A and B are shown apart, each in its own frame.
Chain A
Amino acid sequence: MKLRLATLALGAVLAAGPALAELVIPDLSYRTGPYAANGIPFSDGYQDYFTLLNERDGGIGGERIRLIECETGYNTEQGVECYESTKGEGTLVYEPLSTGITYQLIPKASADGIPVHTLGYGRTSAKNGAVFRWIFNYPANYWDGASVAIKHILDQEGGDLSDKTIALVYHNSAYGKEPIRTLEELAKKHGYSLTLLPVDHPGQEQKSQWLQIRRERPDYVIMWGWGVMNQVAIQEAVNIRYPMDHFIGIWWSGSENDVKPAGAAADGYKALTFHNLGDDYPLYDDMRKYVLDAGKVAGAGDNLGTALYNRGMYAAMLAAEAIKTAQDMAGTSQITRAQLRDGMENLEITEEKMAALGLPNFGPEFKVTCENHGGNGFAAVSQWDAAAGEFKLITDYMQSDQEVLAPLIEEDSMAYAKQNGIEPGCN
């Protein structure tokens, strides 16, 4: 280990000349187990973007990036092991891609002073940055997702849901339970009735849940699934001939490998997203030139342009932009964790910035502040086109119902602050 570090450091010295230091980015990935099908493309995208920055720009602000990958298997104990084994290397920001591991890391990382970015997952009330100083979940969170899904259904039904029933098929874990409170609040507001159908880890067994859906015929089914659970649920929905355009998944249930096993019958399945899809972006030319063709891809190189690859890339892009912001603010290229936290709190993503990066129209604009670690909560609905083999956006980005969500976030984060003796504040 020591020797390898020494050779790596030596290599960096020879390559980059005087820049001795480096930016250490851990990637807690999972390429094994029942969630690997979704974990691999995200991790590939996350790593490839940083590799691209290293190869094309020589890192960020002249500092090369060193990636450390650690396999978690989507298991919290291994996630803790990964966190402990990497944090000594001077890691800057964690992106664990697991709500369970995020819950482990929230207190630990807050105590150690290491920023954690949970892109569209994790603990929703971390949006309140006055309580969760080190935890960020921009640009959208689960409650935004639940609210946007209901908004889309409202649009479909002409604004009236009073006699409708909506079923939530969810992974029976912290992840899947997140939207329940929001959906219940929204049910009070819009008058629909909500059926909860939990699916236990890993989610291969869903016969009884879909039998119930077949019997009760809810008007819409919303899904909070991940890993193998997604494929099974979509196949089961096809089996009972549930209308696919009334079946809406959260953004973690909307990747190509979730719908492809069900074949042409999955056509019309909808999923939310908070960024754009496909590979029709100038950035992909660079990605192919500097990373794919140079043989430096993280995985097999077969995931470019898929929904989760794009999301991993998006996560890396947001991290890189936050590092740039932090470098500008601190006036030094070798930033510390606390400086990165300040950079993340002042991150602003605009259309000009995204266009300059080669990702025009890739996602909604947003701005992070200390009080708001969660962005503005914009998401859109995409639909699977089985013939073309791709997800297509069918709506514009919609903002979630802030008047319902804001009090819920306030309540949940304050309960956390009280339980843990945190004095909310931005200083």
Chain B
Amino acid sequence: MFYREAGDFKTSYVEDGQTFPIKLDRYAYYVALAVAFGVIPFLIDDYYANAVLVPFLIYAIAALGLNILTGYCGQVSLGTGGFMAVGAYSVFKLMTAFPDVNILVHVVLAGIITAVVGVLFGLPSLRIKGFYLAVATLAAQFFLVWLFNRVPWFYNYSASGQISVPERSVAGIIVTGPETTAWAKYLVCLVFLVVLAWLARNLTRGTIGRSWMAIRDMDIAAEIIGVNPLKAKLTAFAVSSFFIGIAGALFFAVYLGAAEVGEAFGISKSFLILFMVIIGGLGSIFGSMAGAAFLVLLPVMLKNVLVGSLGWATDLAAHLELMIVGGLIIVFLIAEPHGIAQLWRLAKEKLRLWPFPY
């Protein structure tokens, strides 16, 4: 009843292969886009931008990136925080070295630099798998953080080792620095997320994506049928790091405005994004966003409910928040190991048949 599919016929392969083959889904997607672009920018205030929506959008980009590597290509990575740091420091160096170039170009360039670094650290994946690869990427995490802490060139020799973003604008609208309006921040991140999600969706259903999934499902079999593991694994690392680099660049330039590497891009960030991917659903674009939403919005919501509405002590609320989020993660993983995306998929199947299941 929710899905009225009567009369929704496909007459060509292109139509049948589209991202949202069900009409209702497609309309829901258009409405979501229209609201995101046409309504929210007019309503958003500083609090919603800085505490809720901008972090959600940026973490969604990072989770998309990690999902390509871990969810689609099956390579476990614990280096996400380090790669985000590469994106952040690249954009910082580019912004200060070439102040006249458009900041959006710098963000994309930062993504490309991160992609190169990601390929470099992805080379061991040709030899090692599973837990051993996780350890190798963990080494990348620690090495990169150490590097940005140790070499003063990366932070332009500032006394404290902090990097802070200079003010830059796009078409006369300030998008980085303290004077940025809430809607400008939000729109920049939203545009990047929409474009990158579209890119990810189309990559994963094309040749490259299929070769990633073949490697994930059984690498020896994939090699036998002609998938080149070198190419598949390294492209996965490159694309994944490109996404994560952009997320890191936006995280520093648009969201935080100032960062120090150990605190902003430490190992806890790698785990946070890995949890987003696992909770959201491995190998799913929607899952990346759902996972990011779950882990960004839930703590903020709990804090507002417990401290703001109920008036509890802040330390009690902070401890409870950890317990509730942790508990929910366990419940989720037991109830549905394939994440929120799978829950949504099942719900959709049921809704399509409801109220007459067979």
Contact = CB atoms under 8 A, between A and B. Distances in A.
B256 A77 contact: yes
A107 B263 contact: no
B36 interface: no
B318 interface: yes
Closest 5 CB pairs of A and B: A31-B315, A107-B178, A111-B178, A174-B160, A71-B314
Interface string A273-288: 0000000000000000
Contacts of B263: 75-76, 100, 173, 201
A107 B258 contact: yes
B295 to A, nearest CB: 12
Interface stretch (B15-23, B128-136, B161-169, B283-291): B161-169
Interface centre among A1, A4, A103 (most CB of B within 10 A): A103
A110 B178 contact: yes
Interface string B203-232: 000000000000000000000000000000
Nearest to A298: B313
A421 B45 CA distance: 26
A172 B266 CA distance: 12
Interface residues of A, number: 47
Given A4-B311, A29-B314, A111-B179, 5 more contacts: A1-B304, A32-B315, A80-B256, A85-B51, A87-B46
B10 interface: no
B308 interface: yes
B248 interface: no
Interface string B118-144: 000000000000000000000000000
A103 B159 contact: no
A70 interface: yes
5 contacts: A32-B318, A71-B314, A76-B263, A81-B50, A111-B179
A92 to B, nearest CB: 18
A306 B162 CA distance: 32
Contacts of A84: 46-47, 50-51
B82 interface: no
A48 interface: no
B84 to A, nearest CB: 13
Question: What DSSP secondary structure best describes chain B's contact surface?
Answer: helix
Contacts of A99: 160
A201 B262 contact: yes
A73 interface: yes
Contact of B260 (A73, A173, A181, A198): A173
Contact of A107 (B45, B257, B262): B257
Contact of B167 (A177, A180, A181, A421): A421
Contacts of A76: 256, 259, 263-264
A80 B317 CA distance: 18
A22 interface: no
Interface string B304-330: 100111010011011100000000000
A124 B160 CA distance: 10
A419 interface: yes
Given A81-B51, A111-B179, A201-B262, A123 B314 contact: no
A67 B67 CA distance: 43
B149 interface: yes
B55 interface: yes
A71 B262 contact: no
Contacts of B50: 80-81, 84
Contacts of A110: 178
Nearest to A1: B308
A69 B51 contact: no
Interface string A151-189: 000000000000000000000111101101100000000
Contacts of B79: none
B177 interface: yes
Contacts of A85: 47, 51, 304
A145 to B, nearest CB: 14
B80 to A, nearest CB: 16
Nearest to A75: B263
Given A76-B263, A100-B263, A71 B167 contact: no
B256 A177 contact: no
Nearest to B310: A4
Contacts of B178: 107-108, 110-112
A331 interface: no
B33 interface: no
A200 B167 CA distance: 30
